[in-house]
Chain A
Amino acid sequence: MDTPKSGEFAHIGKSVVIKGELSGSEDLYVDGTVEGAIQLQGNNLVIGPNGHVHADVNAKGVVIQGKLEGNIRASDRAELRKSAVILGDIVTQRIAIEDGAYFKGKVEIQREGAKPNPVSATRAEPQVEAKSAAAAGTPVTKQ
């Protein structure tokens, strides 16, 4: 789910402030401020880099580039981009988090049926080098 092209998503621009409950049956792109709740069952939500959402979110897929304070319930997938700041719990089937994203909360994976590999994680930066650093030694115990 990439940044939407114009016309694909309903669009809330960065100068728009909405207080209340947002619900709908189409995909939504929020680059402004929303306080309240967002209900998009079966549809996707993208919070843009300027977006600041203070709401519980219920959607099929959620992509966050901006700031979200609230709980996320994504029936399919949650994606936290590297610029994302999330303060809240996430319940979803699959989650992808880029390096650099700030997350404070709980992650709970809800499996549907017996789908393998429910969680995937992406890296914003390529792995440059890996070195073997240290081997472990003898444990010393104090009881």
Chain B
Amino acid sequence: MASVTHSFMKLFRGTSTIPAQGARPVSMAQRLTRRSSGLGAVSRTLQSEAPICVLDIGSTSAANIRYLTERGHKIYSEDLLEASTDPALITKDEQGQMILDSRRFLADNLVYPAAQFDVVLCWNLADYMHESLVKPVVARLWSTIKPGGMLLAFFHTHEAGPDAPCYRYHIVDNDILEMQHVQARRDVRKGPNGALHTSIEKSFRLQRVFNNRHVENLFRDFGSIKFFLTRDNIREVLVVR
């Protein structure tokens, strides 16, 4: 775990809310359309007539649920980024640094039988999730994916700044996505002592930028990895268990 932490090429820290220079504010309601070759590759599996099992761990998307259920597939939805804002997860490591308790997180989230899913839609989760959770979550995902099953993830490139907006991804067509800016819910939750807290973040910030080697390292337990290069600041990655 620590090796991954130190091997990230670029880490973003702090809680600045000042937009990066040149960054344009994105409306919450605004949706941007992008073509996705990674989704196009996954779509060949999604077109299967036999019902498959899909896990979407991005922000809840009605469009994705509709797209998949219309094709007769089962969809499981679990917003892991939102779940990671639970204040009850905050703890300290041996050096006294604040981390999120990955054991506790995985006791409450991603609780599925082994080899349950044919496809996992991970979207941009790894870029925005706290680093103490990234590797444990990927390891748990590996165990929940069927051999031969696939996972689609997006990673920012080095041109992205810490204020790159976090998006909810809606599947519109076989290789077309709509992206909608997403912020954390401000709901009240119970902490470990029963005290009430609100979410620890009000908006999601890019935590780091992975380079290709780090992405390969993150998914090293998977059988194959394919990168799709795009013209914007996103790399699409399709891994197969």
Contact = CB atoms under 8 A, between A and B. Distances in A.
Interface string B64-99: 011001101011111100110000000000000000
Given A104-B78, A105-B76, A142-B225, A132 B33 contact: yes
A129 B31 contact: yes
Interface string A34-60: 000000000000000000000000000
Interface in A69-85: 85
A139 B227 contact: yes
Contact of B35 (A85, A99, A135): A135
B60 A102 contact: yes
B35 A96 contact: no
A123 B30 CA distance: 12
Contacts of A123: 62
Interface stretch (A2-10, A17-25, A106-114): A106-114
B66 A133 contact: no
Contacts of B178: 130
A102 B65 contact: no
A119 interface: yes
Contact of A136 (B36, B65, B224, B226): B36
Given A97-B65, A119-B70, A139-B228, A133 B32 contact: yes
Interface residues of B, number: 48
Contact of A138 (B36, B60, B229): B229
B203 interface: no
Interface string A116-143: 0111111101111111111111111111
A125 B82 contact: no
B79 A126 contact: no
Q: Which of B37, B69, B70, B74 has the most chain A CB atoms inside 10 A of its CB? A: B69
B224 A105 contact: no
14 contacts: A106-B77, A109-B69, A119-B65, A119-B69, A126-B29, A127-B31, A128-B29, A133-B33, A133-B179, A134-B232, A134-B234, A135-B231, A142-B224, A142-B226
